[in-house]
Structure 1
Amino acid sequence: MVQKYQSPVRVYKHPFELVMAAYERRFPTCHLIPMFVASDVISEEKSDDNSTHKIERRCKLDVDAPRLLKRIAGVDYVYFIQKNSLNRRERTLHIESHNETFSNRVIIHELCCYSVHPENEDWTCFEQSASLDIKSFFGFESTVEKIAMKQYANSIKKGKEIIEYYLRELEEEGITHVPRWSASPASPVKAVLPVSRPVPPTTPAITIVPPAENKLDADYINRYLGDLTPFQESCLIRLRSWLQETHKGKIPKDQHILRFLRARDFNMDKAREILCQSLTWRKQHQVDYLLDTWTSPQVLHDYYTGGWHHHDRDGRPLYILRLGQMDTKGLVRALGEESLLRHVLSINEEGLRRCEENTKVFGRPISCWTCLVDLEGLNMRHLWRPGVKALLRIIEVVEANYPETLGRLLILRAPRVFPVLWTLVSPFIDENTRKKFLIYAGNDYQGPGGLVDYIDKEIIPDFLGGECMCEVPEGGLVPKSLYRTPEELENDDIRLWTETIYQSASVFKGAPHELLIEIIDASSVITWDFDVCKGDVVFNIYHSKRAPQPPKKDPLAAHGITSPGGNNVQLIDKSWQLGQDYSMVESPLTCKEGESVQGSHVTRWPGFYILQWKFHSMPACATTNLPRVDDVLATLQVSSHKCKVMYYTEVLASMMYQHCANTALFC
């Protein structure tokens, strides 16, 4: 399996020519690279005007590997081929290298590039990228991968140190400016020169270069995301690049992506899966707008015993929850489970916002918050079954969509009944989250190793023996006059989670989902925004002069309204012929699972437009009429699952669409 890695962009705040002068000082030897043993220049070529310089070297490296492995492999040194291409006119240096030793067992391909910073021509960017493909290595494949990863980490750190070392050396010699290349009379020198002189290579790195619009600066990562290993940096950039490609520019913040990677120990596939599920959930329920749209009922203001209170010693926002004083039964009976969930989600969204603010205030990355839970007053009434059910539901949603946002949970004054509650809820809490729990019984929190180790004494709340006044409500019993009937609560729950502009639909093999839009005025604009939640689909747009007749079993389908029993609508009659009864107005668009697609179509004629999401079938084998076993198995596996899409469409007048597009340019 090919392993790909990529590192963020390193920026030298020096002109390209000066950085190249520092780079050249690494040759023919460099005491800062002890692993480099020797090299032979295979060929060297310069252009007549000296604007380009290409050189190819065979480099000898003493790789830091176990002696046993070297003996089994039968080698003491590893050889790499390195090709450098310097273009003084364009101010770029491209470095490409690959392993010559064991190339039939291990393939390492590295790319490096020095270039001018896109926003400041007096700065220089450096990028590294490579891939590692271990086909076989005497049963030591895992060991070789670890060695390569270690070498990659050393390469990134050492490479930057070497350039900075020689930049300082140049400055000490009074060299602070190197003139740029300029066209001059052609030089007669142009030759391929076989020479032999030792020059240190750029050591192999395990990374891949991201597209220009997806690049992350190393200083930015250190300032806003924290210290990451080269492997962790690579995972972040690769997942970010994948989201950029599949979600058409609508991607979450880097801090948010990083939380999902940490939650899955930087397993790319697992992190991508849960992140995509969460992004779909956020869009479906419009969670991104929750802080602007959600208004807490007065009951919550009066009886919900939680609130934000300064920050802990690490600068993390501090949330205090007086759970022992909360009437969980009264809140559930007065508000319902889903209203409580919405309120908790708004707390988490506010926590993310406060983390960003504290990152700016304290000048270091703050990505999570601290929660202090006071259990004084907790008793058996808190174990009321519907209340526990609501708590488990909240934990499930928060764990799935806000991983790694809790930095520490301080549980104070835990009573005897607490173990019963802990037994009920702990199985639903992620193991990594449970490790962040600190539990204190009675007044144990007041001594050494207690609360003062995590919170400044000046901000300890008064109800915990401190001197700081805390504005968190004291709670109390919710009056029964505020209780609502089960029917009223059920209707409210349905309203809360159906107030969304998005609709969901299932797509089956042979049963596409279709949506009918009637256009009265030509030059209208049909816009769409949909996510492929499961499976692969093909998106089509058709036009017909006559309205398709809805299936008899579903008289509402002609208007794109599904019956309560299903979410799949088929409108195009099987007797209709493409090109005669209806026509295709957009090229088919194949969309893979996890993709987010936005687009628009300017209608040329009035009539009926049909938006169709169709099951994406595997192509037939072109070399034989008989299907291959692998194809049959794959088809059976795919066809056993339905596809799911979540979509929103809107029809705009042409002038209105143009106004929205122009406005978006300034947002």
Structure 2
Amino acid sequence: MVQKYQSPVRVYKYPFELVMAAYEKRFPTCPQIPVFLGSEVLGESRSADGAVHVVERSCRLRVDAPRLLRKIAGVEHVVFVQKNVLNWRERTLLIEAHNETFASRVVVKENCSYSVHPENEDWTCFEQSASLDIRSFFGFESTLEKIAMKQYTANVKRGKEVIEHYLNELISQGTSHIPRWTPAPVREEDARSQPGSRQVEGTLRALGPAAEAVGTDGDKLDADYIQRCLGQLTPMQESCLIQLRLWLQETHRGKIPKDEHILRFLRARDFHLDKAREMLCQSLSWRKQHQVDVLLQTWRPPALLEEFYAGGWHYQDIAPGPLRVGQQSGWLSMLSSLQVLSVNEEGQKRCEGNTKQFGRPISSWTCLLDLEGLNMRHLWRPGVKALLRMIEVVEDNYPETLGRLLIVRAPRVFPVLWTLISPFINENTRQKFLIYSGSNYQGPGGLVDYLDKEVIPDFLGGESVCNVPEGGLVPKSLYLTEEEQEQADQLRQWSETYHSASVLRGAPHEVALDILEGESVITWDFDILRGDVVFSLYHTKQALRLGPREPGARASGQLVDKGWVLGTDYSRVEAPLVCREGESIQGSHVTRWPGVYLLQWQVHSPPGSMACSLPGDVLTALHSPGPKCKLLYYCEVLASEDFSAGANHTGKMLGIGKGWAEGDRGQEPLSPGLATGRLGPSPRTEEV
């Protein structure tokens, strides 16, 4: 495979003649370039009027490679032949070089040019390109390729510094101006009689278009622009950017992407040119198909989004990149593909604005997401699927745009969501997620590491009054939209996830979960739609006899035999929790032993009344058998390592594994593993 290098246009803010004087100081030896051992002139000729000077040199370069490789090759230095064509009239210097050593196995070609800056005749531009083709080298082709390109790019940077060194030396010696070349009158017959003139003309014809003046134009990038607007890049990274940009100019019809956008795709593929080109081409086709380029001008969010969507732009982070703030408020149910694309398009636009405003390259933005109020209800399948689709679209078409995602006040249910989505997120993207539970985002190690105190929103304890829309819950009356059928399908899928149950007085509703390994995580989410219930968690090693109606529950909803004795046949692993009508409860439990775990809901009896003390007590003689309470519930069992993976990513914030590291909102840890949170009255009976 041929490796190529293309430099940006480097500008010396000195006249061409002075730069040429500095360049000549590199010969015959140059102490500033240690690998350059010396050179000798092989041939030299001038045109009749002295305007064109052609010099051919043999240059010796030390082999900067491991000793074993040098021993196998049998050489300590390599020879390059360099041909320079200096045209004083056009004020250009064209350089061609190729290797003589191992020319049958390794082919190295280099082309350089010095020319006058197109917008300032007192400045000089420099461009450089090279190719490396290792055809065979004793089985060390890949190793030699890496060493050669690494060494070459290092010398590229050093070459610019050497020219600047000799320029400063000339100026310090009093040579700050060299007159431009002026032709001397020469008779035509004298010019034709000089052999050097004919040789120069032949050289110019052989060079063809390359011998013409090479200047910078609007289609080329200069090094100062790259550093000022795109950031510090290595020579090889600059080369990849320029090569991909040139390829787009030659093959892409219409307007090519901005340099910042091209660079993002290169970074996403670690500057692997072919992979970045493939990814970018697919994205360009996608943008054209969906007319994304005109999205900000043509799309306006519907009134529903403007009224209920919680999120907006809020100053900038410490980079300083744009900062977007969002609040939970049912954000999964509010996902809109056009909204997500609009946010990313505007994020790129704001990055460009911040680059100009602050005078330094800004290529990414920060998202601050408050997840207070997130619960299992929000993790319905269509919402999660929509989230995964949006993540895929963003990663494919907006790589390296999101600099950091700060998630604060993450509830205990968040690891469940993280377990669902993290496998679908690119590793580089996952590293940008910083997650805090409770109030851990305050103080050192929190938001102050990424945001100035003056811009932290007031609802998070900061000093900035945040005018970002707070959003809200969408009323049921607004759910019927143009996409009615899709909404109906989503609601149907949601109903398949959650189950309803009626709890009879004296006949609790129970769900059995078989745990095969010692450490698993049981998660649950339920809403009390009517009445008050007591929620408990039990464990037994005995097999249950299931009824005929549904898997996991008898006709009455009760699983435990009334003859069982608490403490002997089964045990309570957590204390009962009284749940009031309208409350939404979420929680999880890290199991200690294999066996059957029972989630139980029974009617709550106020103090002083006759109540059920055990799940098996059916007091039908004293109480009406009709339904007294109604609930909607969901439960799931996750492997401990899967659940811990999401928690471990959150580090100190969520602490899930063999038990919670800390309670929610700074409470004491719950032992041996129960984590239950209340959300207050459930909005499901009134709003969705």
The TM-score bracket by the shorter chain reads: 0.5 to 0.7
Once the two structures are TM-superposed, the CA of residue 327 in structure 1 deviates from its matched residue by 5.5
CA distance in 1, matches of 2:344, 2:121: 42
C-alpha deviations, 1:432-469, integer Å up to 9, x for none?
11111111122111132111011011111111111211
Distance 1:230 1:255 in 2: 17
Contact 1:51 1:88 in 2 (8 A): yes
- Cα offsets for 1:87-122 (capped at 9, x unmatched): 111111111111111111110000011111122222
> Is 1:444 the counterpart of 2:448 in the alignment?
no
Provide closer, same or farther for how the CA distance between residues 210 and 398 of structure 1 changes in structure 2, counting only shifts above 3 A: farther
Q: Note the alpha carbon deviations across 1:371-423, whole angstroms, 9 max, x for none.
A: 11111111111112221122122112111111110111111121111111011
- Matched with 1:65 is 65
Asked if residue 483 in structure 1 is aligned to residue 479 in structure 2, the reply is yes
Q: Residue type of the partner of 2:87?
A: N
Q: 2:327 aligns with which of 322, 346, 360?
A: 322
Matched-pair contact (CA < 8 Å) for 2:58–2:79: yes
Deviations 1:173-205 (A, max 9, x none): 22222111111034999677xxxxxxxxxxxxx
1:409 partner letter:
L
Residue 346 of structure 2: aligned partner:
350
Match of 2:429 in 1: 433
The letter of the residue matching 1:14 is Y
Do structure 1's residue 308 and structure 2's residue 304 form an aligned pair? no
What secondary structure does 1:414 align onto? coil
TM-score by length of 1: 0.67
Whole-Å separation in 1 of the counterparts to 2:156 and 2:381: 55
Distance in 2 between the 1:94 and 1:356 partners?
Answer: 36
1:216 to 198, 213, 221: 221
- What secondary structure sits across from 2:324 in the alignment? strand
Q: How many Å separate the matches in 2 of 1:420 and 1:245? A: 48
Asked if the contact 2:83/2:97 (under 8 Å) is kept, the reply is yes
C-alpha spacing 1:138/1:279, structure 2 compared with 1 (3 Å): same
CA contact (8 A) 2:8 2:242 kept: yes
Maintained 8 Å contact 1:210/1:237: no
Write the distance in 2 (CA, Å) between the matches of 1:316 and 1:412.
Answer: 19
Determine the C-alpha separation between the residues in 2 that align with 1:69 and 1:7.
28
**Number of the residue aligned with 1:545:** none
Residue identity in the other structure for 2:232: D
Q: Distance in 2 between matches of 1:427 and 1:379?
A: 21
Partner of 2:42: 42
Which of 264, 272, 277 is equivalent to 1:259? 264
Q: 1:459 matched to which residue of 2?
A: 455
> Helix, strand or coil for the counterpart of 2:434?
strand
Amino acid at match of 2:267: R
Q: TM-score, normalised by structure 2?
A: 0.65
For 1:569-648, list aligned pairs within 5 A.
none
Work out the CA distance in 2 between the residues paired with 1:223 and 1:487: 47
* CA displacement at 1:301 relative to structure 2: 1.6
The one-letter amino acid of 1:279's match is L
Q: In the alignment, what sits opposite 2:234?
A: 229
Partners in 2 of 1:366 and 1:22 — Cα distance?
36
Query: Contact conserved, 1:303 with 1:327, CA < 8 A, in 2?
Result: no
- What SS class does the counterpart of residue 370 from structure 1 fall into? strand
2:381 aligns with one of 378, 385, 410: 385
In structure 1, the residue matched to 2:23 is 23
CA contact (8 A) 1:210 1:241 kept: no
Q: Are 2:255 and 1:250 aligned?
A: yes
Distance in 2 between residues matched to 1:52 and 1:295, nearest whole Å: 63
Whether the aligned pair in 2 keeps the contact of 1:210 and 1:238 (CA below 8 Å) is no
Indicate if the aligned counterparts of 2:332 and 2:387 stay in contact, CA closer than 8 A.
no
- SS in structure 1 at match of 2:363: coil
Equivalent residues of 2:27, 2:38 under 8 A apart:
no
Q: Deviations over 1:209-254 (max 9, x none)?
A: 9996632101111111111111111111111111111113520101
Report the Cα distance in structure 1 between the residues aligned to 2:39 and 2:428, rounded to whole angstroms: 48
Q: What are the residue-to-residue correspondences of 1:85-104 with 2, within 5 Å?
A: 85-104=85-104
By how many angstroms is 1:63 displaced? 2.5
- In 1, are the aligned partners of 2:7 and 2:239 still within 8 Å (CA)? yes
Q: CA–CA distance in 2 between the matches of 1:184 and 1:390?
A: 77
Aligned partner of residue 444 in structure 1, secondary structure: coil
- In the other structure, the counterpart of 2:115 is 115
Paired residue for 2:285? 280
Are 1:109 and 1:130, in contact at CA under 8 Å, matched by a contact in 2? Answer: yes
Distance verdict in 2 for CA 1:157–1:487, change over 3 Å: closer
Give distance in 2, aligned partners of 1:159 and 1:185.
Answer: 37
Q: CA deviation at 1:485?
A: 5.2
1:132 alignment counterpart: 132
Residue 30 of structure 1: how far off its partner (Å):
2.1
Question: CA contact under 8 A between 2:125 and 2:215: conserved in structure 1?
Answer: no
Q: What residue in structure 1 maps to residue 369 of structure 2?
A: 373
Q: Partner amino acid for 2:383?
A: G
| Contact in 2 for aligned 1:327/1:477 (Cα 8 Å) | no
- How many pairs are equivalent? 469
Amino acid at match of 1:136: S
Q: Share of identical aligned residues, percent? A: 70
| Secondary structure of the corresponding residue to residue 403 of structure 1 | coil
Which of these two proteins has the greater Rg computed from alpha carbons?
2
Q: In 2, Cα distance between the equivalents of 1:11 and 1:399?
A: 36
- CA shift, 1:304, in A, is 0.8
Residue 476 of structure 1 deviates from its aligned partner by 2.4
Task: After TM superposition, give the deviation of residue 164 of structure 1 in Å.
Answer: 1.1
**Consecutive unaligned residues in structure 2, runs of 5 or more:** 197-213, 490-688
Cα distance in structure 1, aligned partners of 2:331 and 2:78: 69
Spell out, residue by residue over 1:631-658, the C-alpha distance to the aligned partner (whole angstroms, 9 max, x if none): xxxxxxxxxxxxxxxxxxxxxxxxxxxx
SS at match of 1:445: coil
Structure-2 residue corresponding to 1:398: 394
Aligned to 2:175, the other structure's residue is in SS state coil
Determine the C-alpha separation between the residues in 2 that align with 1:87 and 1:33.
Answer: 26
Distance 1:162 1:418 in 2: 56
Number of the residue aligned with 2:410: 414
**AA paired with 1:157?**
K
Q: Which amino acid aligns with 1:454?
A: Y
Conservation of the 8 A alpha-carbon contact between 1:326 and 1:475:
no
Equivalent position to 1:360, from 356, 360, 367: 356
Paired with 1:416 and 1:344, the residues of 2 have a C-alpha distance of 26
Amino acid at match of 2:88: R
Deviation at 1:475, TM superposition (A): 2.6
Q: Distance in 2 between the 1:146 and 1:270 partners?
A: 18
Provide the rounded CA distance (Å) in 2 between the counterparts of 1:344 and 1:385: 19
CA offsets 1:140-184 (integer angstroms, 9 cap, x no match): 212211222122222221111111111112222222221111110
Q: CA deviation at 1:473?
A: 2.3
1:60·1:77 contact (CA, 8 Å) conserved in 2? yes
**Equivalent position amino acid for 1:326 in 2:** G
Q: Give the corresponding residue for 1:514.
A: none
Deviation at 1:84, TM superposition (A): 0.8
In 1, are the aligned partners of 2:315 and 2:322 still within 8 Å (CA)?
yes
Aligned-partner Cα distance in 1 for 2:39–2:470: 74
In 1: Cα distance, 2:349 partner to 2:420 partner: 31
Counterpart residue type for residue 26 of structure 1 = R
